Amino acid sequence: MLEQRLKLRFELHLPYEIHCASGKVPLRGRIKNASSTGVLFACSTRFSIGEKIKYSLTLPRAEWGGADVRVRCDGTVLRTDAKKQEFVASVDSYEFVREAAVSAAA
Q: pTM of this prediction?
A: 0.81
- Classified as helix, coil or strand, 42 is strand
Residue 24 pLDDT: 80
Task: Give the residue-averaged pLDDT of 66-82.
Answer: 92
- Classified as helix, coil or strand, 55 is strand
Topology adopted by domain 10-105: Thrombin, subunit H (2.40.10)
Q: How far is CA 97 from CA 3, 41, 63, in A?
A: 34, 21, 18
Q: Where are the domains of the chain?
A: 10-105
Euclidean distance between CA atoms 45 and 43, whole angstroms: 6
Q: Give Cβ neighbours of residue 45 (< 8 Å, ≥ 6 apart).
A: 18, 27
Q: Is the pLDDT of residue 3 over 60?
A: no
